[in-house]
Structure 1
C-alpha cells in the first residue's frame, strides 16, 4: 500500500497539469484536441453484434483469468504476430485493460528485498505514469532512465551501474515507446534479456502500440525470447485492444509470461482483479481473431503520418505509435502559444518525464496525438507548423 508520504512523491498527473497551465486562456481559433491518445477511428462493427448476442451472460460472474475462447484467441494472435507458442491456460492472463496488469504484476512479482536491500524498479524517462505508481506501491525505488535522441529514444539500461542493476527487480520498457514512437530492435531486446539474466530481474514489456506502424512490424520481446531461447520467466509482455482495434472503452488486454510468474499473478488477481464481463470477453476474442479491421486502422494512421511528413518537413516523424514528439525551445511555453494563438491543444513533454541529475528529457518537446480525423489532423499540424516553426 502507498503511504501518504510516498504518494506525495508523485507529481500531479499530466492532464490536470495542462488544465492548470492553460487555465482560463481562450483558444486563438476553433479548438483542435491533440493531447490525449484516445483512439477516434471507428471500432469494428462486429463488436456490438457479439455483445448483443451474448447479453444474457451479463447475469453471470465472469471467469477471473479469462474465458477459454479469449485465452485461445490471444494465444493464436501471439503465434500469428510473433511466432510465439504460449499455453493459453498456463501462460496467458486476461486483463481489464493493461494499466491494471502493469500495476498489479509489480504487486505480484516484486520482492520485498533484492540483494538484501530495497529493490529498484527502472523505467524509461519519459514514461507511462503507472510505472512509477507501481514502484511506489511495492516500496521499491523508482529509477528514471533518460531516453533521448542520444540513446535512440530508448533507455540504455546496459550503461547503468552494476550495483544498481544487482538490486533491480523489474524493468519497465515500452516499445513502440510512448511518447517518442521508438522501436526496440531484436538486438536491443537480446541485450536486455541478457542483462536480466545476469542481474536477475524481470522485464515488463509494454507493447500496447505494437500494431500501429508505417513500415515493418515492430519486433516484439517474445520474438527475442524465441530467437535466443531465453527463459520466459524473465519477461511479462502486455498487449491491448485499445489502440489495435480502437476499443479503449472495452478494457481488454492480456499478459503473457512463464507459468511460474503467471501462477503468482493469477493468485493475486483472484483477490484483487476486476474480470471483464462475459459478453465483453466474447467480443474481445473476436477482435483478437480478426485482422482486416486492424489493417484498415493502420492505413488511416499511415495517411496521417504521411501528411505529417509533408507538413512538418525535416521535423521527426516516428515509425510507430500515433504520437509526434516534436522539439521546441520549451514545452510549456509552446503549449500556451499554440493554444492562445491557434486553438491547437498539445501536451508539454516534461509532463511525461521526471527531473533527473541530467535534467528533464521532455522539457524541450511537445507531444502531439494523431488520433483525430484526417482533415482535422491536417488543420492542426498546419497551424502548429505556422505557429512554432515559421
Structure 2
C-alpha cells in the first residue's frame, strides 16, 4: 500500500459521527442536520430536461477534454461573470466537480523528486481535500490561519521565506469554506506578486462564488484582469454543485494558464476522468442559464434573513460575505462540547469548527466556532435556529438578583 495513506486524517464527518455516538437526543424532536454543505434545493427543471433529452450519450465514450460546445459554454459564462475572454480550446477544461479536480491538479503539479520537500500552502480552516491531496502528492501542507482579526484572510506576510522557496502550490478558497470571507483585490495583488517572485501555482477554489447577497465576489480571473496581468500560474476551479443545486452531477470546470491545463489534460487522459456526454449536455444548459441561479441565491438570502435575527442575540455570528454557511463563535469556546450537547438536547447537528482546522502557529483557528450550513428547506432552518437559540439561552448563567 502507498505509505502516504497513513498520513491522512479522519474526515470531519467521521469525527462528528464518533462525537455523537451514544447520544440520546429527544425522540419527539425530528432530527435537523445543518452539518454538511450539501445543497438541498431542487435541481433546476431545465437541467433535468437536458439530462433526459440526451440519454443517448450514455452509449458513447466521452472525450476527456469535453465537447467543444461545453467548453464554449464554460468560456462564455466566465466572460459574462468575470469579464475575461478565455480560449475554450486551451484555457478551459471540464472536470467532474471541483473536489475531484483539486485533488488531481495537486497530483499533476507537485514535483517531489528534488532534495527539498515541496510545500502546499492552504488556508486554515480548510476543505480537507487540500490537505489530503498535498500529503498523497508527497508535499508538506503549510496551514495559514484565517482569523477574525484579519477578516478571516490568510496573512501572506507571515509565511517565512524558507517556506515560500519550497512552495509549489498555493490553494485559496474565496468565498471561503467555512467562513464565507471573500478575498479583496489587494489580497490578490500581494499573492500574484509572491507567485511572480517564487514561481508557485495558485489554485483558486471558487465553488461558492455564485451564492452571494450584494456584489458578485471577486475571483482569481477577474482579479488578474483588474490588475492588468495574464493568467500565468493561475488555475480557477468552479462547479455547478452549489450554483445550480446539482451536486450529484459532479460537473464543473477549470480555467486559466493554458500551459498548465495542457499538462493537466494529459494527466486526466490517463486518470480516466471524462465526463459523461449526458452530463455534459445538462451542464451546457446550466451554464447558459442565470435565472435559476438568481432564484437559488434569493432562497439562501431569505434563509439568512430569517435565521440571523434568532441566532445573533445568543451567538457571536454575522452575515458572511458569500456562501451558505454561518461561522458562529460559541460562548464558552468549546465547539466540540457545544455540538455534542446541542445534538443531545435539541436533535440539531452542526459541525465543530476545530474539525475543519489544524493546530498551527500556536493554535487551532477553528476552535471555539461551529459551522452551520443553511442548506435545508426554510422551515427546517428556522426550526433549527429556534432550537439553537433556546439551547444557548438554557446555557446562559442565571442573572443575579
Distance 1:27 1:199 in 2: 53
Contact kept? 1:110, 1:138, Cα under 8 Å? yes
| Secondary structure of the structure 2 residue equivalent to 1:40 | coil
Provide closer, same or farther for how the CA distance between residues 237 and 361 of structure 1 changes in structure 2, counting only shifts above 3 A. same
Matches within 5 A, 1:1-390: 3-4=2-3, 6-28=4-26, 29-112=29-112, 116-313=115-312, 315-328=317-330, 329-389=333-393
Contact kept? 1:308, 1:317, Cα under 8 Å? no
Deviation digits for residues 22-50 of structure 1 (CA, Å, limit 9, x no counterpart): 00212233211111111011111012211
Distance 1:377 1:264 in 2: 44
Distance 1:67 1:375 in 2: 41
Contact kept? 1:158, 1:195, Cα under 8 Å? no
- State the TM-score, normalizing by the size of structure 1: 0.96
| Secondary structure of the structure 1 residue equivalent to 2:7 | coil
How far residue 273 of structure 1 moved from its aligned partner, in angstroms, is 3.1
Deviation digits for residues 336-356 of structure 1 (CA, Å, limit 9, x no counterpart): 111011111111111111112
Contact kept? 2:212, 2:297, Cα under 8 Å? yes
Distance 1:366 1:148 in 2: 14
| Secondary structure of the structure 2 residue equivalent to 1:25 | coil
| Secondary structure of the structure 2 residue equivalent to 1:158 | helix
How far residue 127 of structure 1 moved from its aligned partner, in angstroms, is 0.4
Contact kept? 1:65, 1:94, Cα under 8 Å? yes
How far residue 374 of structure 1 moved from its aligned partner, in angstroms, is 0.9
Which of structure 1's runs of 4+ aligned residues deviate more than 4 A? Answer: none
Distance 2:168 2:228 in 1: 21
Deviation digits for residues 171-211 of structure 1 (CA, Å, limit 9, x no counterpart): 01100000010011111111111111111111110000000
How far residue 150 of structure 1 moved from its aligned partner, in angstroms, is 1.8
In structure 2, runs of 5+ residues without a counterpart are 397-401
- State the TM-score, normalizing by the size of structure 2: 0.94
| Secondary structure of the structure 1 residue equivalent to 2:326 | strand
How far residue 308 of structure 1 moved from its aligned partner, in angstroms, is 2.5
Distance 1:184 1:363 in 2: 22
Contact kept? 1:148, 1:361, Cα under 8 Å? yes
Root-mean-square deviation over aligned CA pairs: 1.4
Distance 1:37 1:46 in 2: 23
Contact kept? 2:221, 2:256, Cα under 8 Å? no
Distance 2:39 2:25 in 1: 23
| Secondary structure of the structure 1 residue equivalent to 2:90 | coil
Distance 1:183 1:113 in 2: 35
Size of the aligned set, in residue pairs, is: 387
Distance 1:384 1:313 in 2: 11
Contact kept? 1:193, 1:230, Cα under 8 Å? no
| Secondary structure of the structure 2 residue equivalent to 1:8 | helix
| Secondary structure of the structure 1 residue equivalent to 2:232 | helix
How far residue 158 of structure 1 moved from its aligned partner, in angstroms, is 2.7
Deviation digits for residues 62-110 of structure 1 (CA, Å, limit 9, x no counterpart): 1111111111010000000000111011011100111111011111122
Distance 1:119 1:129 in 2: 18
